[in-house]
Structure 1
Amino acid sequence: MWEAADLNAWQGRIDEEDGAAGHRWHQIIQAPRTDRPGVCLLGFASDLGVKLNQGRPGAAEGPGVLRSALANLAAHNDHAVYDDGTVRTGDDLDAAQSAYAERVGQRLDDGHFVIGLGGGHEIGWAGFQGMRRWLDRHDPDARVGIINFDAHFDLRKPNPKGTSGTPFRQVADWCRDHGQPFHYACIGISDASNTEALFQFAHDNRVRYLRDLDCLDVHANPFIRRFIGELDYLYVTICLDALPASVAPGVSAPSALGIQPGFLFHCLSEIQRCCQYAHCKWLISDVAELNPRYDLQDRTAKLAARIVWEIDRLQRPEFNGHAS
């Protein structure tokens, strides 16, 4: 189910004349180490949850294509980036989510910041479980929150099993069963893509959200600041269907409207700034729903890679001292 990283698959341009200052990601990527904290990539090759959610299959191919798009990006400064391989679902989603969660917890134990490469948004339940396992060992009473950039709440009720549309309902159920508050915020919600039942569940469970039409910096900044101010640890997940189909056609469920990439990048910077100010530790992230079968000119893969690159940038020592 878990496959070790093939570092030889990372290929790209080499600018020998520039030495280390000309390095790209394919030249600095390593297998995970325990003596130097850094940013650790972990693939989740799954579209089983998408199929169960009646979406377009193909997201299982996402991690490999995303790595290829990352390989040629510039590696600024001396920082550690690791590849911890890929978890593949096969026909057992629950087992794959558990395997992914186990590796997330291990990499957090090593001091790494984990970025998941999806795969369908069923990665959300797996990522939360991994973070929660680590917290149960180190800080069980901590206040934990999730920010989801998404056109959808992903709060569907499992029927009976989880899908790409249920991850945060599964988190809500876990929080209820364990007497924990459910801190969940969505940015980019589409009124047209969420039923009245989903909005009702969101209201009943105090989910905070920004609609796609309200996604402006002036609204996002206080929204993010208030949410993070109540937390000790944060998980940020980006569903690529939050972005317009014109820039992200290669997803499981394309958006007619969506939020602009520049707004997303502004929000990521604001999240990092608010975490630093509020002493909230941003632990993990992931990028979900990359579906290469429907991409055009690799534009979705390239945008997904730029998002991963930006999250990595925000974890470097000059920003918050997490990675070194």
Structure 2
Amino acid sequence: MSLDEPPAWDGLSGDPNDEQFGDIVEPATIDHASEFDAVLVGEPYDGAVIGRRGAREGPAALRDALAGVKTHHFDAGPVASVGDCGDVEIPDGDVSTVQEAVREITHEIHASDALPVFLGGDNSLTYPNAAPLLGDSLGVINFDAHLDCREVRGEPTSGTPYRQLHEAGLDAYACVGARHFETSTAYAEYVDEQDGEVVPSEAVGTDGPVAAVERALDAMDEVDAVYVSVDLDVLDATAAPGVSAPTPGGVSTRELFRMLRAGAADDRVAGFEIVECAPSLDIDGRTAAAGARAIAHFLSSYTGNPS
């Protein structure tokens, strides 16, 4: 199992003062990942999607959108020290085979000192992305419209990763932005049995994004490492139409960005991912633009960033 050569990055502005991610992201290898605060890893796969496919094109779309995003955050200053390790070479085979192969790569990446930023791809790869961290006491904060804790019936799907992680030893789970009427009672009860925390999207709106993340972090009290996942369907369908299952009633981009900055500031953060960006289903590039800025906001607050 290996990684494709990383793409070339270029800024899109002719103004030399207009620094963008395209100007600062550098090619990287796993062996040299520790030279960066964070490294991007693409995962072009959507073979496990329950609904509409298209997420295999997500890594390229997220990179294209991020290249033109400026690096400066008004509170944190510029983001720096980001590498790109390229895309995981996805093997032929069933979903279990893909998950096992991807886990070989993610294990190596987690062994470096850099924060891995996985560019999905579908939600089934959350399992191999986070599983190498299970040697520690691990919690996951999942920004998602759905709980994704379905039983594995035959092969895993994009709806099973958190069931798989719980069965492998996940210690804590919180879903922020879950939608009413998008999850079956049986799965809500399963998360409750695991002492998981569910913060519905309307609670984000009424209590505020920082309070929502505080509830999620409270559920992480006993863990040593935190993995953060963003399924872009957590956003309202108007902001992110290019996902497998867009629905109304989601959080706004502003709320998501604020929550990600609050979550990234926790010094236990050990991994981050953006999944379910499907550009062929998108409108005017909205979903990729939101995902790219979500990455920028997270990195601006990540404690590994010298800013």
TM-score (norm 2): 0.88
1:65 and 2:66 matched: no
1:220 and 2:226 matched: no
The answer as to whether partners of 1:120 and 1:164 remain within 8 angstroms in 2 is yes
* Aligned residues with identical type, % of pairs: 28
Offset, 1:228: 3.3
The answer as to whether partners of 1:62 and 1:292 remain within 8 angstroms in 2 is yes
The answer as to whether partners of 2:103 and 2:129 remain within 8 angstroms in 1 is yes
1:258 and 2:250 matched: yes
What residue in structure 1 maps to residue 186 of structure 2?
197
**Partner AA of 2:14 in structure 1:** D
What residue in structure 2 maps to residue 41 of structure 1?
40
Q: Secondary structure at the match of 2:117?
A: strand
What residue in structure 1 maps to residue 234 of structure 2?
242
The answer as to whether partners of 2:39 and 2:116 remain within 8 angstroms in 1 is yes
Offset, 1:111: 0.7
Offset, 1:60: 0.7
Once the two structures are superposed, what CA deviation does each residue of 1:214-249 show, in whole Å capped at 9, x if it has no partner? 123274154034123322110000011111110100
- The one of 158, 167, 172 equivalent to 1:164 is 158
Gapped regions of structure 1 (runs ≥ 5): 137-141, 176-180
The answer as to whether partners of 1:100 and 1:130 remain within 8 angstroms in 2 is no
Offset, 1:37: 3.1
1:183 and 2:145 matched: no
Segment drifting more, 113-122 vs 224-233: 224-233
Once the two structures are superposed, what CA deviation does each residue of 1:89-143 show, in whole Å capped at 9, x if it has no partner? 54332233233323223223221001110111112111112333xxx4xxxxx32
1:144 and 2:138 matched: yes
Shift of the 35–84 alpha-carbon distance from structure 1 to 2, 3 Å rule, reads closer
State the 4+ residue runs in structure 1 displaced beyond 6 angstroms: none
What residue in structure 2 maps to residue 139 of structure 1?
none
Q: Distance in 2 between matches of 1:75 and 1:119?
A: 24
**Partner AA of 2:67 in structure 1:** A
Q: Secondary structure at the match of 1:191?
A: coil
What residue in structure 2 maps to residue 128 of structure 1?
130
Q: Distance in 1 between matches of 2:105 and 2:243?
A: 25
Q: Distance in 1 between matches of 2:14 and 2:290?
A: 23
Q: Secondary structure at the match of 2:181?
A: helix
- The one of 106, 109, 118 equivalent to 2:111 is 109
The answer as to whether partners of 2:79 and 2:299 remain within 8 angstroms in 1 is no
Q: Secondary structure at the match of 1:209?
A: strand
- The one of 28, 41, 56 equivalent to 2:52 is 56
The answer as to whether partners of 2:24 and 2:82 remain within 8 angstroms in 1 is yes
1:98 and 2:94 matched: no
**Partner AA of 1:5 in structure 2:** E
What residue in structure 2 maps to residue 293 of structure 1?
280
What residue in structure 2 maps to residue 308 of structure 1?
295
What residue in structure 1 maps to residue 21 of structure 2?
25
**Partner AA of 1:109 in structure 2:** A
The aligned length equals: 295
* Higher share in helix: 1
Offset, 1:321: 4.0
TM-score (norm 1): 0.84
**Partner AA of 1:81 in structure 2:** V
Offset, 1:47: 0.8
Question: What is the correspondence of 1:269-280 to structure 2 with a 5 Å cutoff?
Answer: 269-273=261-265, 275-276=266-267
Offset, 1:267: 1.5
Q: Distance in 2 between matches of 1:173 and 1:238?
A: 21
Offset, 1:4: 1.9
**Partner AA of 1:111 in structure 2:** D
Once the two structures are superposed, what CA deviation does each residue of 1:131-173 show, in whole Å capped at 9, x if it has no partner? 33xxx4xxxxx32100001111100001111000000000111
